[in-house]
Amino acid sequence: MGSFSDYAAAFGSNPGFLNWASFAPLSASVLSEVAADAEMLSTGRPAAFTLSRERIQEARGLVAELLGAPARLDDVTLQPSTTHGLMHAFYGLRGTVLASPAEFPSVSHTLDRAAKASAGGLTPRWIEPAHTFVTPEAVAEALDDEVTALAVSHVDFRTGYRTDLAALRDVLGPDRLLIVDAAQSFGVVDADYLVADVVAGHGYKWLRAGRGTGFAWFSARARERIEPVLSGFGGVEGGELVLDEIAPPAASAQAYTVNFPDSLAVARLATALRDVRDAGVPAIEEAIRATWTRSSRSPHGTACPC
């Protein structure tokens, strides 16, 4: 697969499918590459394990590439889901975090649970903006010196409302963290994600990679402020297995990982990311915009049954 036309030509097995904002059918290339990787893993040959490791780096590098320069592979972690990425952010945060209770529960429930586990160190400040749209104005109204972060969906799962990340960054200023749930936008919305500090997402919607394909990117500011409290033995320097001693969490974003990722999920994610990178997010976004303008329907706005 290379160009947008190759990408578009690979669709079509189920042209009436409209539930992309919930769960997308796996792409043909994901299906065939994961079968090849599974076949390889079934051999037990050392090359199979080398391939698995290479896939991890490939997937992390491609997430960084799609986020845009200067995002680096080292700042990207692979996660079982978006929610796992957000857990690493919220459980390690201190201060007051703004969020809407109308967010997908990956934000609202995770923030609530992290606050309850924080012994008073973390407090959610729930905001209830009109129509549930987390606008820069609604955020500005709720700000004071206690606020250390805002957590928000880039695209709202229910309404399809798209936040203006750059405007939110302006309102927050340089010192507060902007934590973005990009589950509804990554791979389909061309935006400046790097104005945020944490971007968490997954591959089972617009990337067509299936579940188990989460990821999270952490800026330098995020890494300074967020303790890797949920760091596991996979979160050590180099991601190597350390035995007979207790290694500290890595100095890089790798610290925000628990264990080694599922090899076949990583293969699905890497393949899907490559297809989207090659087709180009602006071209994909434009094609969807043209389709929904013709049909007067938003591609978002379907309540997620997951």
Residues near ligand PLP (CB under 6 A): 81-83, 104, 106, 153, 157, 181, 183-184, 202, 214, 304, 306
Closer to ligand PLP by Cβ: residue 40 or 267: 267
| Residue 197 · residue 165 · CB < 8 Å | no
Closer to ligand PLP by Cβ: residue 81 or 100: 81
264, containing H or E segment: helix 263-279
User: Minimal distance in Å, beta carbon 199 to ligand PLP?
Assistant: 12
Q: Is 122 helix (H, G, I), strand (E, B) or coil?
A: strand
In this structure, the strands spanning 147-153 and 95-99 are parallel
Evaluate the CA torsion angle 126, 130, 134, 135 in order and state its sign.
Answer: negative
Using alpha carbons, list the distances in angstroms from residue 26 to 105, 204, 244, 303: 24, 8, 41, 20
User: Minimal distance in Å, beta carbon 184 to ligand PLP?
Assistant: 5
Closer to ligand PLP by Cβ: residue 24 or 281: 24
Give the separation between CA 18 and CA 82, rounded to whole angstroms.
22
User: Minimal distance in Å, beta carbon 102 to ligand PLP?
Assistant: 11
User: Minimal distance in Å, beta carbon 207 to ligand PLP?
Assistant: 11
Structure tokens at 13: 């097995």
- What DSSP character marks residue 249? B
User: Minimal distance in Å, beta carbon 118 to ligand PLP?
Assistant: 21
Q: Is 259 helix (H, G, I), strand (E, B) or coil?
A: coil
Closer to ligand PLP by Cβ: residue 106 or 263: 106
User: Minimal distance in Å, beta carbon 18 to ligand PLP?
Assistant: 15
Between helix 46-67 and helix 28-41 the angle, nearest 10°, is 150
Closer to ligand PLP by Cβ: residue 40 or 217: 217
Using alpha carbons, list the distances in angstroms from residue 61 to 69, 73, 76, 83: 11, 5, 8, 21
Structure tokens at 38: 């599974």
Closer to ligand PLP by Cβ: residue 40 or 100: 100
